[in-house]
Chain A
Amino acid sequence: MPNSGIDALLSVNNLTRLGQGLAVTLKLSIISIAISLALGLIYGIAMTTKNKLLYGLLKLYLEAFRVIPLLVWLFLLFFGGARAFGADTDGFTASVIVFSMWGTVEMGDIIRGAVQSIPACQRLSAEALGMTKARIYRHVIIPQAVRRFTPAAINLVTRMIKTSSLAVFVGVTEILRVGKQIIEFNMMKNPMASFWIYAFIFVVYFIICYPVSRLSKRLEAKWEY
């Protein structure tokens, strides 16, 4: 076989660099997921409020992220921030902020859905058994809510990992940007590089996301009733 160009990929140096890019991608994802989980818990519980004004504001925040594409939010923060504060906005920070703001909304909505999905009769029948409020939560409400929350939350994790690829738009040196750099460097001597590098990155994302979404589906099927 003539030069397939796969050697562009197989050099230790390039693989190390792609690995570093992947580390940035994962770091970005994990930080955003952690923040979303923490803030989403607060947001989700706040969404169950009976205060109409608070609910309206939270709902507006939700709809804003449901309607406007995430990349637009990223542009707003990245370019708008640069303009407002003069300084060079750090793409990584901008990405973390935007992904977390979005993740909070999604996570919060999942939590709200999980809490509200538990039918009132469950609480009533627990009360009828003479359980205390704390015990009702401990043994009836929370276990059921967790079963509804977990598969959806894990599914959100894969969505957030995929979304981290948007960071390439604001100059973060994540895996895709590293790939581009390697391709540009090899442009002359290895024209096939772009095929192999992008195929590699495609596969890497799949290898990370597939098991996670598989887990989500498994849990969903297991806990379906």
Chain B
Amino acid sequence: MGFNWGFIVKFLPNYAAAVALTVKLAVLGVSLSAVVGAVCGLVLYFKVKVVRTIVRGYIELSRNTPLVIQLFFLYYGIPKLGLKLSGEACAIIGLAFLGGGYMAEAFRGGLESVSEAQLESGLSVGLNAWQMTRFVILPQALSVAAPALGANCVFLIKETSVVSVIAIQDVMSLTKELIGMYYNTYETLAILVLCYSLILIPVSLAFSLIERRLRHAEFGD
């Protein structure tokens, strides 16, 4: 029972396509969750009335339900109300729904870490609200939030493995399909691990590097 290299070579193009799809979903999902998270984080930080309550509810919903269920509901449940979405759209929306909640908490944490003294300092040189946000609050908040944001990115990329539940031809569903058809289980699983390692190892290394650099350049007096 040797390792069937021919099998691997034969299906390499399929894997390339599947990985490309996973990467695409991850990039779009992570970007969209960062946007959702940033907006929600700002709403919480600036205590925008009413909207804040909605955002809080959303964050709790997204953080306290599994992505699998969110995807099932989006893909199979929502269309019954007349809104039909493609599998890819569902996957991206699902990732953004889930990730937005986590990103919002990371952004909020960063924003709230900016000290009262820094705010007074910024105000004392005559900055208005927008200038305060742009030049004083955001730069400091982002560097504090960076490790958490990075961890969320890795977490979300890993979560993309779940999207195969809604009929998406990603690495997971390709794996399942090939195992079912050819029984080259070991080869298939080896490529599966390889695919995710190729995507995730560079990303996690990059983030731990950024984190180390930020810690090295730590602010404070």
Contact = CB atoms under 8 A, between A and B. Distances in A.
Given A72-B161, A205-B65, A209-B64, A194 B80 contact: yes
Contacts of B72: 176, 179, 198, 201
A168 B158 contact: no
A69 B159 contact: yes
A163 B154 CA distance: 16
Contacts of B19: none
A185 interface: no
A61 interface: no
A116 to B, nearest CB: 17
26 contacts: A68-B193, A69-B159, A69-B196, A71-B162, A72-B192, A75-B176, A75-B189, A76-B192, A76-B193, A79-B175, A80-B185, A83-B183, A83-B186, A162-B65, A165-B68, A166-B68, A194-B77, A195-B78, A197-B77, A198-B72, A198-B76, A199-B73, A201-B73, A206-B60, A213-B60, A213-B64
Given A72-B161, A79-B179, A176 B69 contact: yes
Contact of B63 (A183, A194, A213): A213
Interface in A154-183: 158, 162-163, 165-166, 168-169, 176, 179, 183
A185 to B, nearest CB: 15
A202 interface: yes
A69 B164 CA distance: 13
Contacts of A158: 64
Q: Which of B72, B188, B200 has the most CB of A within 10 A?
A: B72
Contacts of A55: none
Interface of A is mostly: helix
B51 interface: no
B66 A163 contact: yes
Contacts of B193: 68, 72, 76
A48 to B, nearest CB: 21
Interface residues of B, number: 39
Interface of A: 5, 66-72, 75-76, 79-80, 82-83, 158, 162-163, 165-166, 168-169, 176, 179, 183, 191-192, 194-199, 201-202, 205-206, 209-210, 213
A71 B66 contact: no
B209 to A, nearest CB: 15
Contact of B196 (A68, A169, A179, A194): A68
B69 A202 contact: yes
A168 B71 CA distance: 13
A165 to B, nearest CB: 4
A66 B204 CA distance: 9
A221 B160 CA distance: 32
B129 to A, nearest CB: 29
Contact of B69 (A70, A192, A198): A198
A69 B161 contact: yes
